[in-house]
C-alpha cells in the first residue's frame, strides 16, 4: 500500500439522502479489505467536534444497504464554520491517529472539508450525496434517483384525485435552488408545466395556457414546481392563479421530506457502492482532497475546494420535450 494513512474516519453531513448507508458500507468494507482501521463519526462535523467517534467493523455495516437515512446520523453544523470548531475536530482525529476523512454530503460539506484539509494535517475525500443533484463534476449524486422515484409515485397518486375532480394541482418538490427533481419528476408524470429556478417563470403564460386547455376540455392540469422557483413555492403560485382563473379549482400538494426517506433505488445503491469503493482507492493511490463523482460512467475526481453548485445547466432539449408533450 503506497499510503501512510492507516486510519480513516467517515461521516455523513448536510441533508440525508437514500443510499448514504450503502456508501458507508462500501467505504467501511473496502477500507477493512485493504487493512485500514475505520472510525464512524456520528452527526457529521458536529460529532467530530464533540468526539462521538467509534471503531466500525464489517458487522457494523451489515444489513444497511437497503435502508434510507444514515446510520451515522447527520447534521448541518454551524460550529465547523469557525476555526475553533475545526481545531477541536482535528484534535479528536489526531489523538486517534486518524489521517484520512471521508465526507458524504453536498457542496457545502465539501467546502468545509477543503478548508479543514488546508488548515490541518488531514486528507479529505468527498462522496457526492444529496437528493438535489446540484454538484458540478458528477452526473449522479446519491439519493437523487430515489427522491425522484418517490416524487413520481406521489404525483401519480395525486393525478388520480386531480382527474376525478377536474382540478388543477400544483405540486411542490424539493431541490433547494436547483430544478432537477422537478424537471425529472415532472417529465416522468406528464406535467403540463414544470417551474424551475433555472428558467424564469412567466405566470401569465401559465394562466393563458390553462385557460386554453380548459376550453379544449383538457381536464387534468398538473404543475410541478421546484421549491426554489423564482416565483416562489406552490402556495404563492396558487394565490396568483386563483385570481387569474376564479372558476378553476386549484389545489396544492407539497411533497416535502418524504422525498428524503425510504429504501434507496437500485441505481442509488450502485453509485453509492462504486463511489465508496473508489473513495478508499483515493487514499491508497495518494489522491487528496477531492470528491468522487461519476461522469460518463467513469469515476471523476474534483478538488473539494472547487465544489460548486451546478445551476443553470438544464438541457434545452428537455424543456422543448416538456412543451411538446404537454400540448
Please give the residue ranges that form the binding site for ligand F6P (CB under 6 A).
Answer: 15, 130-132, 174-176, 227, 260
Cα 42 from Cα 97, distance rounded (Å): 18
* Cβ at position 178, least distance to ligand F6P in Å: 8
Asked if 196 contacts 133 with a C-beta cutoff of 8 angstroms, the reply is: no
Is 61 or 135 the residue whose CB approaches ligand F6P more closely? 135
Closest CA to 194 of 214, 167, 175: 175
Cα 163 from Cα 58, distance rounded (Å): 50
Is 20 or 36 the residue whose CB approaches ligand F6P more closely? 20
* Cβ at position 238, least distance to ligand F6P in Å: 20
Cα 18 from Cα 259, distance rounded (Å): 9
Is 132 or 198 the residue whose CB approaches ligand F6P more closely? 132
* Cβ at position 210, least distance to ligand F6P in Å: 27
Cα 163 from Cα 223, distance rounded (Å): 13
Is 168 or 174 the residue whose CB approaches ligand F6P more closely? 174
* Cβ at position 123, least distance to ligand F6P in Å: 26
Cα 172 from Cα 187, distance rounded (Å): 14
Distances (CA, A) of 326 to 56, 193, 225: 51, 8, 15
Cα 229 from Cα 238, distance rounded (Å): 13
Positions marked active-site: 132
Is 50 or 177 the residue whose CB approaches ligand F6P more closely? 177
Asked if 25 contacts 84 with a C-beta cutoff of 8 angstroms, the reply is: no
* Cβ at position 254, least distance to ligand F6P in Å: 12
Cα 253 from Cα 280, distance rounded (Å): 42
* Cβ at position 208, least distance to ligand F6P in Å: 30
Is 15 or 100 the residue whose CB approaches ligand F6P more closely? 15
Query: What is the grid cell recorded at 119?
Result: 488548515
**Cα 59 → chain centroid:** 27
Asked if 293 contacts 128 with a C-beta cutoff of 8 angstroms, the reply is: yes
| Secondary structure E strands in 97-220 | 100-105, 123-128, 168-173, 193-195
Amino acid at each position: 500500500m503506497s499510503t501512510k494513512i492507516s486510519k480513516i474516519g467517515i461521516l455523513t453531513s448536510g441533508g440525508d439522502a437514500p443510499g448514504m448507508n450503502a456508501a458507508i458500507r462500501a467505504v467501511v468494507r473496502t477500507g477493512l479489505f485493504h487493512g485500514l482501521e475505520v472510525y464512524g463519526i456520528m452527526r457529521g462535523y458536529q460529532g467530530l467536534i464533540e468526539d462521538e467517534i467509534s471503531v466500525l467493523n464489517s458487522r457494523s455495516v451489515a444489513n444497511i444497504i437497503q435502508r434510507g437515512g444514515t446510520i451515522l446520523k447527520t447534521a448541518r453544523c454551524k460550529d465547523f464554520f469557525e476555526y475553533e470548531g475545526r481545531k477541536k475536530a482535528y484534535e479528536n482525529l489526531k489523538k486517534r491517529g486518524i489521517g484520512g476523512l471521508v465526507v458524504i454530503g453536498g457542496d457545502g460539506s465539501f467546502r468545509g472539508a477543503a478548508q479543514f484539509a488546508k488548515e490541518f494535517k488531514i486528507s479529505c475525500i468527498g462522496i457526492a450525496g444529496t437528493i438535489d443533484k446540484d454538484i458540478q463534476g458528477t452526473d449522479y449524486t446519491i439519493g437523487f434517483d430515489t427522491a425522484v422515484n418517490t416524487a413520481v409515485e406521489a404525483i401519480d397518486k395525486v393525478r388520480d384525485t386531480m382527474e376525478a375532480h377536474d382540478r388543477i394541482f400544483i405540486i411542490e418538490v424539493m431541490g433547494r435552488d436547483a430544478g432537477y427533481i422537478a424537471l425529472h419528476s415532472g417529465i416522468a408524470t406528464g406535467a403540463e408545466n414544470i417551474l424551475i429556478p433555472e428558467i424564469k417563470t412567466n405566470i401569465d403564460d401559465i394562466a393563458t395556457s390553462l385557460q386554453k386547455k380548459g376550453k379544449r376540455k383538457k381536464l387534468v392540469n398538473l404543475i410541478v414546481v421546484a421549491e426554489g422557483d423564482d416565483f416562489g413555492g406552490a402556495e404563492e403560485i396558487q394565490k396568483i392563479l386563483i385570481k387569474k382563473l376564479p372558476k378553476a379549482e386549484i389545489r396544492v400538494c407539497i411533497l416535502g421530506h418524504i422525498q428524503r426517506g425510504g429504501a434507496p433505488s437500485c441505481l442509488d445503491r450502485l453509485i453509492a457502492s462504486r463511489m465508496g469503493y473508489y473513495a478508499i482507492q483515493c487514499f491508497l493511490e495518494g489522491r487528496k482532497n477531492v470528491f468522487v463523482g461519476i461522469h460518463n460512467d467513469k469515476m471523476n475526481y474534483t478538488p473539494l475546494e472547487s465544489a460548486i453548485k451546478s445551476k443553470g445547466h438544464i438541457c434545452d432539449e428537455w424543456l422543448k420535450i416538456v412543451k411538446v408533450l404537454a400540448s
